[in-house]
Structure 1
Amino acid sequence: MHIWKVGVCLNKKTLWLTIYFSFIVSFIVILLLEPIGDLFHNYFLILKSPSVLLTDYLSIAGLPATLLNVLITLIVNVIIIKALKQKFSSSVIMSLFTIVGFSFFGKNSFNFIPLYLGVYLYTKIHRLDMRDHILVLLLSSGLAPVVSFFSFGAGFHLAVGLILGILIGILIGYILPIFNKHSLKFHQGYSLYATGFSMGVLSMVLTGVLKSFHIPITIYNEISYDYHYFLLFTILILSLFLIILALILKPNLFSDYKKIIKSSGRLQSDFFKISSTPAGLFNMGIMGLISLLLCLGLQYFTPDHFYFRLSGPSFGAILTIIGFSCFGKHPLNTLPVIIGGLISMYLTPVEVTDGTIIALFFVTGLAPITGKFGIFAGLLAGFFHLMITPLALDFQGGFDLYNNGFAAGFVASIISSIFIALKKDVLKEEVF
């Protein structure tokens, strides 16, 4: 029997005790990084932030308070998963990596709760199983800045702002599951950031309403580069850990890994089921190392002499890449879209900014385009994505943290439609 099969049979109680013990140790370490008074003062700066894109919590609160926010946000989500008796599937692991990544810039332990309540109410009122909507629940936190903006950034009295923020968050969470289901048909699963697209549409409507009432929306650009090397080594350690763990669980996993790299990655591609859990973990580690190499290359070869260094948002983007590497992304389908994005950076007169670099990481959400239609289609998708993303941000006002998912939805719809139309069996193309 393979070691990984033995691991599957481990006592669940032992697994949960290990997780909780890790949380306790992490909390103690964070408390040692900064005086408690300063730590919680800075943590409350995060909670009171409007959190609209791009708000780097490392910039407004420092590393210890940001790590505290990440830890508390992760603990709450893990407790919810346990309460729902949800298995740690590839979709759940992907969602947790995404949540941790965005807890560096936009999500905090206050602003996602109303959205979760909205999704919960939707399932209860319509008598649905909450576990069937776990993916939408966890990813709904991408609209968390809506709650923070109304609570702290729209100029309302604090009590009025809090009430408005919570109620609007609950309303959006309530309508998101059904809206997300319908919007998926728009891009046919060729964008891995499907929820980001539906959230972008809702954010666009909200932005239009606010502007009609002359309520100003500030697009933030608070970025900190002070922790570049810490974040760089964190990616390296995490990636190596995933690779080593995968090889310990199943040393001979390369035949399984071939199944992953042959997959198109189109939604929903569960690499744990398509191949095996160790192969999926191995792919996550490999994609982390590829992201690391991209970071090092961008640091020295970025156009317009833009000196790239890791910040909260770019680090969060890489964690999202790693998370989605058990749910659709692998080297063969992501490299063409990354190269397409790089070509766009060098050939177009668009100014290279932090947002441009972050879009280059998130362009990997279009990986299924390469997997389904080939390298040329992937290059085109990456090329156009970098040009559309800034426009998408203006449309949705910075409320949708998954802004690249909003942009990717349009790119995926256009590129897939063109290449499907070029196929002889266009009428046989599978539709959602």
Structure 2
Amino acid sequence: MYPCLWIYTAILFFTGLVWAGPRDVLSGLARIVLTEDALITDYILVSGPGPALVNSALVTAISILVLRASREPLNGMSLVVIGLMSGFSLFGKNPVNIWPILLGSWLYAKSRKEPFGKYAATGLMATALAPVVSYIALDNGWGTPASGVLVGVLIGFIMPPLSAYTYKVQNGMNLYNIGFACGLVAFILVPLMSSMGADPTTYYRWATGYDHIFAPMLAALCLLLILAGLFFCKRPVWAAWAGYRRLLQTSGRAPSDYLRMFGAAPVLINTGVNGLIGMTFILAGGGELNGPTIGGILTIMGFSAFGKHAFNIIPVMGGVFLGSLVMHWSLNDPAVQLACLFCTTLAPVSGYFGWPYGVLAGFIHSSVVLYTGSPVAGMNLYNNGFSGGLVAIVLYATIVAIARHRKPVIQDQDYFDPLEHDEPLVPPDPQQLTEEDDT
């Protein structure tokens, strides 16, 4: 899978370079780095498609190198990280503002005397709070670059223990657990900064008019993934398709590592199918393909290796569509378009309790998410993860107590240890088994 990830990164890089040219790419990257990145800051609008794609390639390459350097075994969560980092580097993350948070996670691992690989994925996903680093470092008259780095290191240091706790609270029903944890941190940081004289504001930089360019590119990528899963994974076509059909029967409740459970072929098929579903929802609803929406589609594609499939995301997305019919907002509003994509964080609700509850979860989430970003001034890029966590906590308790009386409980073994799960099992000694039977 690592060669495939590098090919994907190279496609992003050279597409952006051909699109804009080296000089325009460099000047565009400078504008991206020097921009305060609060939601919604579309890098395609800030600097153009070429520099935005190159920025995505650079952040993706950094993510791959961090995972390799940490000796993290490739699993479903690794693909989630790549999808998140490549997607959100189109609207909020850049090669500069992610490093302080990564440093903080590395320092946490050192303080615990544990390998960084255990926290590498968490550190990368914690860069959801990268806009905090950019705001403090770039805000004239308030913050400084040194204070921005310091706050970023602090965020990276506290995120591993906090995310481990919030993971238990949500009982695996919110796939964007880090987003929920980052939302809690942002709810503390933003009032603190405001009390000290800062004035963070929410942005609405939203590019339009790129559907005719990005739709064919994205569709080609999805079809290529489906064909790769069917024909290029050294498995018969019928076996790859059968694996995908088995994948569709899972609930998606975290942790659901599809790469380990089913292998690469069904995961690639699932990734391509989910990407086409996300793109169809955006275009059919009159939305735009730009940095944020493509980032949302890439996030869905990343989580196709860890919990999302067609049967558990469509009901939740349908709930958002249903909300557009009865509520005072439109499906083509920018925030609602993002909600339509990122609401799939609640896919386990649909997969575990049934599709009607998935529709209910999407319906509620579509309104909750519109109000959770303002108190934190857009500083948490995973705002849908935070609102999804709130909805998951309320719905889980209500459904279990009133409707279904089914109580999935997160157990210690759900926090898989890479060493424990990836080392080959040693077959038992037949002679030892005989001696134990005699005893």
Fold shared, TM-score > 0.5 on shorter chain: yes
Q: CA separation in 1, counterparts of 2:16 and 2:282?
A: 26
Aligned residues: 406
Match of 2:334 in 1: 354
Match of 1:130 in 2: 116
Residue 211 (structure 1) shift: 2.4
The answer to whether the aligner puts 1:172 opposite 2:152 as a matched pair is no
Q: CA separation in 2, counterparts of 1:19 and 1:431?
A: 31
Q: CA separation in 2, counterparts of 1:189 and 1:24?
A: 34
The answer to whether the aligner puts 1:400 opposite 2:380 as a matched pair is yes
Amino acid at match of 2:274: M
Residue 424 (structure 1) shift: 6.9
Of the structure 1 ranges 50-59 and 178-187, higher mean CA displacement relative to structure 2 is found in 178-187
The answer to whether the aligner puts 1:234 opposite 2:217 as a matched pair is yes
Give RMSD over aligned pairs. 1.9
Residue 27 (structure 1) shift: 4.3
Match of 1:298 in 2: 285
Deviation string 1:60-109 (CA, Å, 9 cap, x unpaired) is 10011111211111111111122122233111011101100001000000
Residue 143 (structure 1) shift: 1.0
The answer to whether the aligner puts 1:277 opposite 2:264 as a matched pair is yes
Deviation string 1:182-218 (CA, Å, 9 cap, x unpaired) is 1122211100000000000000111111222342111
Identity %: 29
Q: CA separation in 1, counterparts of 2:16 and 2:123?
A: 28
Residue 315 (structure 1) shift: 0.9
Residue 274 (structure 1) shift: 2.3
Q: CA separation in 2, counterparts of 1:424 and 1:371?
A: 13
Match of 1:205 in 2: 188
Residue 180 (structure 1) shift: 0.6
Check conservation: 2:368, 2:387, Cα contact below 8 A.
yes
Of the structure 1 ranges 380-389 and 341-350, higher mean CA displacement relative to structure 2 is found in 341-350
Q: 1:254 to 1:200 in 2, by over 3 A?
A: same
Of the structure 1 ranges 125-134 and 335-344, higher mean CA displacement relative to structure 2 is found in 125-134
Check conservation: 2:9, 2:60, Cα contact below 8 A.
no
Amino acid at match of 1:337: V
The answer to whether the aligner puts 1:255 opposite 2:242 as a matched pair is yes
Match of 1:246 in 2: 229
Structure 2 regions of 5+ residues with no counterpart? 412-439
Correspondence list, 1:366-405, <5 A: 366-405=346-385
Q: 1:87 to 1:224 in 2, by over 3 A?
A: same
Deviation string 1:354-402 (CA, Å, 9 cap, x unpaired) is 0111111111110000111111211110000011001110122211100
Q: CA separation in 2, counterparts of 1:232 and 1:19?
A: 21
Deviation string 1:406-427 (CA, Å, 9 cap, x unpaired) is 000000111111111126756x
Deviation string 1:283-327 (CA, Å, 9 cap, x unpaired) is 11111111222123112xxxxxxxx22121011001101111111
Q: 1:22 to 1:265 in 2, by over 3 A?
A: closer
> Which of 308, 314, 321 matches 1:329?
308
Residue 230 (structure 1) shift: 2.0
Q: CA separation in 2, counterparts of 1:320 and 1:231?
A: 16
Q: CA separation in 2, counterparts of 1:276 and 1:20?
A: 19
Deviation string 1:247-295 (CA, Å, 9 cap, x unpaired) is 0123112221222111110111011222222011111111111122212
Amino acid at match of 2:117: R
TM-score (norm 1): 0.89
SS at match of 1:85: coil
> Which of 117, 120, 125 matches 2:106?
120
Structure 1 regions of 5+ residues with no counterpart? 1-7, 9-14, 300-307
Check conservation: 1:197, 1:405, Cα contact below 8 A.
yes
Residue 174 (structure 1) shift: 0.1
Q: 1:28 to 1:374 in 2, by over 3 A?
A: closer
Correspondence list, 1:52-201, <5 A: 52-153=38-139, 155-156=141-142, 161-201=144-184
Q: 1:98 to 1:414 in 2, by over 3 A?
A: same
Residue 342 (structure 1) shift: 0.6
Match of 1:338 in 2: 317
Of the structure 1 ranges 257-266 and 198-207, higher mean CA displacement relative to structure 2 is found in 257-266
Amino acid at match of 1:277: A
